[in-house]
Structure 1
Amino acid sequence: MKRIYAGVDVGGTGTVIGLFDEQRSLLAKVKLETLGSNMELFGDAEAYMGMVANRIKETAASLPGSPSMLVAAGFGIPGQVNPDDGIVADATNLGWGRVPFARVMSELLQVPVRIDHDVRTFAKGELLAGAARGRSHAICLTIGTGIAAAIVIDGKLVRGGHNLAGEIGHDTVAGLTRSCPCGKVGCLETVVSGPGISRLAAEAGLQSWQSAGGMPTAEDVARHCSANNEQALGIYRYAAELLAEKLETAVALLDPEIIVIGGGVAKAGEPLLAPLRQRLHERFPWLQGQLSVSLAELGDDGALIGAFHHVFEG
């Protein structure tokens, strides 16, 4: 019987499930909406976990070839995630308060389950097989529904004293006045995130590519950037400058070799990275040619690889 492992990336918008064999090959990948098309699962962790567990089991059962046996599952999850006790707390983008995720999911799947923060999970994948491969000092960010960073020092992920290291999205920015789901006002992620970019685009009068009169998404703004739309380019430049302001202190303190950026907003590419790179190199001219600012290489597979390696160390 073939032994397989699940690696799962839980995002505020979508969840991606990957199934791997013991040779680290990705056998299947399934995407589903985290909260449902009408947000019907918002705050309902139990219903969400049941849905994901069922999909993992269905996907494992449908693999071609010899029968498969799920032996363990790893998850990357937003919020305050404690890998030691398996509890997720204050996952505001999911509406979760305090959820014993690893215990409940282990009971549903009948296999060991390990969890970590979603951005640290993404960073582990990029360290093992992506843009940060071979680097010992890195800052890895994901920009999607929210924004968070993972810090790598001497090749090790830093979690902090309360498993909250890297929550850059909830650092406030002077002059921003929009409320954040965390309860504060003016958090970085009210601008530097998918919803933040979307709001700025709507206020600028940019159109959706998907539906006439619809709310433009961050992907729409990226498409407008590709067409050299000055408003779209200005939105990404503004977001990059706010992010650079927050990263300046991190660069000064941590001296990373590389900053890796992933997530849906990062798909815009150079309209986001170029002004960020320029700002950081202006502030730290001695790091030009030594500090890389790069896109993640693995897409959503990075988080799947990282989650898989939460439970597979072979």
Structure 2
Amino acid sequence: MMNQVHIGVDIGGTNTAIGLFDQELALRAKRSFATSLPHYPGKTDRPIPFLDELAERIFRLVGEHAPGAKLAAVGMGVPGRVDPVNGIALAASNLAWANVPVAAEMSERLGVPVYIDNDVRIFMLGEAMAGAAKGSGSVIGVTLGTGMAAAVMVDGKMWEGHRGFAGELGHDQVPGYHARCNCGGYGCLETIASATGIARLGAEAAANGRIPFLHSPDGRITARDVYLAAMAGDSAAADIFRFVGATLGSKLTTAVYLLNPEMIIVGGGAAAAGELLLGPLREAIYGKYRFEVKPAVVAAALGDSAGLYGGVHYAIGRGSE
């Protein structure tokens, strides 16, 4: 019988995950659902349908797995630029959110304190508290999902930057590439190094006849379709992962020289490709980084639960301030 529970939430451009944690911060149940964006691509500061659905699903999860328990607090990871002090999602291009007072809106619905931060910092916190980065001091975390971003932990502390915008590596441009990004720019790294980018590259290759066996039941090619084609032996599909890994590795090498991290942790949906992606990423960094001791390049240990663990630990930490 659980007397008190915490909720962690990981909002993504495609799916949103919710995790219920007991008093010992063990994950007892989790659910995911499609992130509803009826306003997209038009920007909004009040995504009411989504916030209403999220609150309803949180109440349902608690009712199903911890009936009678008190909900203590909620911690949430939100993509894009975030003001964690005031709980505002300033700009989330893959959600088309602008200046959304997420913490206040959700706190009003749930009747408990709600705390938010950038989703990749929340991911990194989860891996630092219970995953691959546990016990490490300096780490770079990267998530490859609908978009792509990074987080940096230095000497055990999260680096937020001057205005909290540190880690937006996904919007650094790749010379010679011109795909339109949801931020409004062209050739951003996340148009290549993300699940969305992999799907786009796969669709382009299929349209050009270079991946004849790449197909999807509904005609819409996903990153998983490209992965399955590569695992089936399709060299053009494998080349896409090599290109993505090498491109991301080239960008990260500069950060490795600057920060000298112990490790680089890769999470997000595209990380499920494992060594198909991590191998080329590792090779790109190790080929350019000249010092003898090189950072480990590993997949997130907590998988798609990292953001849930991070959200709960973040909420508890903020609540104790």
TM band (smaller chain): over 0.9
Residues 161-204 of structure 1 show CA distances to partners (whole Å, capped at 9, x for unaligned) of 11110100001111011111111111111111112111111111
How many angstroms apart in 2 are the aligned matches of 1:221 and 1:227?
10
- Identity within the alignment, %: 43
Unaligned stretches of 5+ in structure 1?
none
Alignment of 1:90-101 (within 5 A): 90-101=91-102
Does the alignment pair 1:8 with 2:9? yes
Provide the rounded CA distance (Å) in 2 between the counterparts of 1:305 and 1:211. 34
Partner residue in 1 for 2:195: 194
Say whether residues 1:148 and 2:153 are aligned partners: no
Could you tell me which residue of structure 1 aligns to residue 278 of structure 2? 273
Contact 1:6 1:20 survives alignment (8 Å): yes
Task: Give the partner amino acid of 2:163.
Answer: H
How many residues align? The count is 308
Deviations 1:209-236 (A, max 9, x none): 5406x12211111112222211011001
Alignment counterpart, residue 283 of structure 1, candidates 288, 294, 313: 288
Question: Does structure 2 retain, via aligned residues, the 8 Å contact 1:208–1:215?
Answer: no
What amino acid does structure 2 have at the position aligned with 1:196?
G
Say yes or no: does 1:49 pair with 2:38. no
Match of 2:314 in 1: 310
Judge conservation of contact 1:41–1:48 (CA < 8 Å) in 2: no
In the TM superposition, what is the alpha-carbon distance from 1:134 to its structure 2 partner? 1.4
1:295 paired residue number: 299
- Whether contact under 8 Å (2:125, 2:314) holds in the other structure is no
TM-score (norm: length of structure 1): 0.94
Gap runs ≥5 in structure 2: none
- Give SS of 1:151's match: strand
Amino acid at match of 1:222: Y
Q: Matched residues in 1 for 2:260 and 2:292: separation?
A: 9
Q: Which runs of 4+ in 1 moved over 6 A?
A: none
Residue 293 of structure 1 aligns to a residue in which SS? strand
Alpha carbons 2:246, 2:283 under 8 Å: kept: no
Which string of whole-angstrom CA distances, capped at 9 and with x for unpartnered residues, describes residues 261-280 of structure 1? 01111111111111111111
Displacement of 1:41 in angstroms is 5.3
Alignment map for 1:205-216 (pairs within 5 Å) = 205=206, 206=211, 210-211=216-217, 214-216=219-221
| Counterpart in the other structure of 1:40 | 38
Q: Is 1:231–2:232 an aligned residue pair?
A: no
Letter aligned with residue 265 of structure 1: A
